[in-house]
A and B are shown apart, each in its own frame.
Chain A
Amino acid sequence: MKDFFVIAIAIMIFIIIFQIAKASEYVSVLKGEEKSAKQNNRINGFMLIAFLVFGLIGAWYCNSLYYGKTLFVQGSASVEGQEIDTMLYVTIAITGTIFVITQVLLFWFAFKYQHKDNKKAFYFPHNTKLELIWTTIPAIVLTVLVVFGLKHWFLITGDAPKDAVVVEITGHQFGWDMRYPGKDSVLGKIDYKKYNQPSGNSLAVDFDDPASHDDIRASEMHLPVGRPVKLVIHAQDVIHDVGLSHFRMKMDAVPGIPTTMWFTPRFTTKEMQVRTGNPNFVYEISCDQMCGKGHYSMRGVIIVETPEEYAKWMAEQKPEYFTYFKDKDPDANKTEGADSAGVAKGTGAPVATAHK
Chain B
Amino acid sequence: MSSVALTHDAVSHGHEDAHHEHHHHETFISKYVFSMDHKMIAKQFLVTGIIWAIIGGFFSVIFRLQLGYPESTFPWLEDILGHWAKGGKLHPEFYYALVTMHGTVLVFFVLTAGLSGTFANFLIPLQIGARDMASPLLNCLSYWFFFLASVVMISSLFVQTGPASGGWTVYPPLSALGDASLGSKIGMDLWLVGMALFIVSQLLAGLNYITTILNMRTKGMSMTRLPLTVWALFFTAVLGVLSFPVLLSGAVLLLFDRNLGTSFFLSDIIVAGKILPNEGGSAILFQHLFWFLGHPEVYIILLPAMGMASEILSVNSRKPIFGYMAMVGSMFAILILAFLVWAHHMFVTGLNPFLGSVFVLLTLLIAVPSAIKVFNWLTTLWRGNIRFTPAMLFAIGFVSLFISGGLTGIFLGNSSLDIHLHDTYFVIAHFHIVMGVASFFGMFAGVYHWYPKMFGTYLNTTLAYIHFWATIVGAYLIFWPMHYEGLAGMPRRYYDYSNWESFKMFGGLNEFISLVAMIVFAVQLLFVFNFFYSMFKGRKVTTKNPWDANTLEWTTPIHPGHGNWPGEIPEVHRWAYDYAKDGRDFIPQDVPVSDDESKHH
Chain A residues with Cβ under 8 A from B174's Cβ?
A: 238-239, 290-292
Interface residues of A in 34-53 (CB under 8 A from B): 37, 40-41, 44-45, 47-48, 51
Known A-B contacts A250-B420, A257-B282; A245 and B502 likewise in contact (beta carbons under 8 Å): yes
- A150 near B387 with CB under 8 A, answer no
Chain B CB within 8 A of A124 CB: yes
A131/B372 in contact, CB under 8 A: yes
| CB pair B526 A17 closer than 8 Å | yes
Measured between C-beta atoms, what is the minimum distance from A203 to chain B in Å? Answer: 10
Count chain B CB atoms within 10 A of each CB in A99, A116, A286 and give the residue with the most: A286
| CA A239 to CA B497, docked complex, whole Å | 21
Name the CB-closest residue of A to B396.
A110
- Judge if B555 is at the interface, Cβ distance under 8 Å: no
CB proximity to A under 8 Å, residues B367-397: 367-368, 371-372, 374-379, 381-388, 393, 396
- A219 interface residue (CB < 8 Å to B): no
**B408 near A204 (CB under 8 angstroms)?**
no
Q: Is A173 an interface residue (CB 8 A)?
A: yes
User: Could you tell me the distance between the alpha carbons of A90 and B476 in the complex, rounded to whole angstroms?
Assistant: 24
Question: What is the CB-to-nearest-CB distance from B321 to chain A, in angstroms, rounded to a whole number?
Answer: 8
Say yes or no: is B247 at the interface (Cβ < 8 Å to chain A). Answer: no
Stretch at the interface among A68-76, A181-189, A303-311, A323-331: A68-76
Residues of B with C-beta under 8 A to A195 = 270, 275
Q: Is B69 an interface residue when CB atoms closer than 8 A count as contact?
A: no
Contact between A114 and B386, CB atoms less than 8 A apart:
yes
CB contact under 8 A between A102 and B378, given known A21-B460, A124-B320, A250-B419: yes
Q: Is the CB of A142 within 8 A of B419?
A: no
B601 touches A134 (CB 8 A): no
B399 sits at the interface (CB 8 A): yes
Known contacts: A17-B463, A237-B177, A290-B96. The answer to whether A142 contacts B365 by CB under 8 A is yes
Would A153 and B356 count as touching, CB distance under 8 A? Answer: yes
- B317 located at the interface, meaning its Cβ lies under 8 Å from any Cβ of chain A in the complex: yes
Q: Which residues of B contact A138 (CB under 8 A)?
A: 367-368, 371-372
Q: Does B417 contact A (CB under 8 A)?
A: yes
Q: Which residues of A have CB within 8 Å of B338?
A: none
| A154 → B minimal CB distance (Å) | 6
Interface size on A, residues (CB 8 A): 123
**Are B501 and A284 in contact (CB-based, < 8 A)?**
yes
- Does B50 sit at the interface, judged by CB under 8 A? no
- Chain A hits for B415, CB < 8 A: 149-150, 153
A252 contact set on B, CB distance < 8 A: 348-350
Within the assembled complex, what's the spacing in Å between the Cα atoms of A37 and B386?
12
Closest Cβ–Cβ distance, residue A261 to chain B (whole Å)? 9
- B332 contacts across to A, CB distance below 8 A: none
Expressed in whole angstroms, the Cα–Cα distance for A11 and B417 within the complex equals: 46
- A125–B320 touching, CB < 8 Å: yes
* Interface membership of chain A positions 75-88, coded 1 if the CB is closer than 8 angstroms to chain B and 0 otherwise: 00000010110011
Residues in B neighbouring A45, C-beta threshold 8 A: 386, 388
Contacts A120-B385, A142-B364, A255-B173 hold; do A25 and B539 have CB atoms under 8 A apart? yes
- Interface SS, A side: helix
Q: Does B158 contact A (CB under 8 A)?
A: no
- Residues of A within 8 Å of B173, CB to CB, are 237-239, 255
Is A24 part of the contact surface with B, judged by Cβ < 8 Å? yes
Question: For residues 311 through 361 of chain B, which have their beta carbon under 8 Å from a beta carbon of chain A?
Answer: 317-326, 348-350, 353, 356-357, 360-361
Give min CB distance, B170 to chain A, whole Å: 10
A334 on the B face (CB < 8 A): no
* B135 within 8 A of partner (CB): no
CB <8 Å contact, A158 and B353: yes
B34 at the interface (CB under 8 A from A): no
> Which of chain B's residues have a CB closer than 8 A to the CB of A55?
476
Question: A47: which B residues are within 8 A, CB to CB?
Answer: 469
For window 237-254 of A, CB contacts with B under 8 Å fall at 237-239, 241, 243, 245-246, 248-252, 254
Interface stretch of the complex, out of A208-216, A293-301, A344-352: A293-301
Measured between C-beta atoms, what is the minimum distance from A147 to chain B in Å?
10
Q: Closest residue of chain B to A236, judged by CB? A: B270
Contact (Cβ within 8 A) B499 A297: yes
Are B383 and A173 in touch, CB under 8 angstroms?
no
Q: B270 — which chain A residues lie within 8 A by C-beta? A: 172, 192, 195, 204, 236-237
B532 interfacial by beta-carbon distance below 8 Å: no
**Is residue B24 within 8 Å, beta carbon to beta carbon, of the partner chain?**
no
Question: Residue B461 contacts which of A40, A291, A292 (CB distance < 8 angstroms)?
Answer: A40
Chain A binder among B196-204, B216-224, B579-587: B579-587
B420 and A84 contacting across the interface, CB-CB below 8 Å: yes
Contact A121 B383 (CB under 8 A): yes
B269 and A256 contacting across the interface, CB-CB below 8 Å:
yes
Inter-chain contact B383/A113, CB cutoff 8 Å: yes
Q: A204-B270, A237-B180, A246-B502 are in contact. Are A296 and B381 (CB under 8 A)?
A: no
* B283 CB → nearest A CB, Å: 5
Would A149 and B417 be within 8 Å (CB), given that A71-B488, A113-B386, A259-B350 are in contact? yes
- Once the chains bind, are B580 and A109 in contact (CB under 8 Å)? no
Assess A248 versus B353: contact at CB under 8 Å? Given A44-B393, A146-B361, A290-B174.
no
A237 to B525, CA, bound (A): 42
B487 partner residues in chain A, CB cutoff 8 A: 70, 72, 88
Known pairs A51-B472, A126-B324, A292-B180; A69 contacts B505 (CB<8 A): yes
Bound: A29/B542 CA distance, A: 13
Residues of B within 8 A of A105 (CB): 378
In the complex, whether B166 has a CB less than 8 A from a CB of chain A is yes
Q: Which of B516-540 contact A (CB under 8 A)?
A: 522, 525-526, 529-530, 539
A239 and B283 in contact, given A123-B581, A124-B379, A139-B368 (Cβ under 8 angstroms)? yes
Mask, B387-415, CB within 8 Å of A = 1, is 11000010010011001100110110011
1/0 per position for A116-144, CB-CB distance to B under 8 A? Answer: 10011111111100110011001100100
Q: Tell me if A163 counts as interface (CB < 8 A to partner B).
A: no
Contact A241 B348 (CB under 8 A): yes
A84 CA to B268 CA, complexed, in Å: 34
Is B494 in contact with chain A by the CB < 8 A criterion? yes
Per the bound structure, the CA–CA distance linking A21 and B526 in Å amounts to 11
The reply to whether A20 and B462 contact each other, CB–CB distance below 8 Å, is yes
Cβ–Cβ contact B403 & A295, under 8 A = no
Q: Which residue of B lies closest to A88 (CB)?
A: B417
Partner of A21, one of B357, B367, B463: B463
How many angstroms from the CA of A195 to the CA of B318 in the assembled complex? 71
Contacts of A254 in B (CB 8 A): 283-284, 349-350
Taken together as a complex, chains A and B put the C-alpha atoms of A14 and B527 apart, in Å, by 11
Question: 11 extra interchain contacts, Cβ-Cβ under 8 A, other than A239-B174, A295-B96, A299-B500?
Answer: A63-B484, A95-B408, A99-B403, A106-B381, A120-B385, A124-B322, A125-B600, A145-B414, A237-B270, A248-B419, A281-B501
**Shortest 7 CB-CB distances between A and B: which pairs?**
A245-B489, A256-B267, A259-B350, A66-B484, A122-B383, A157-B353, A44-B388
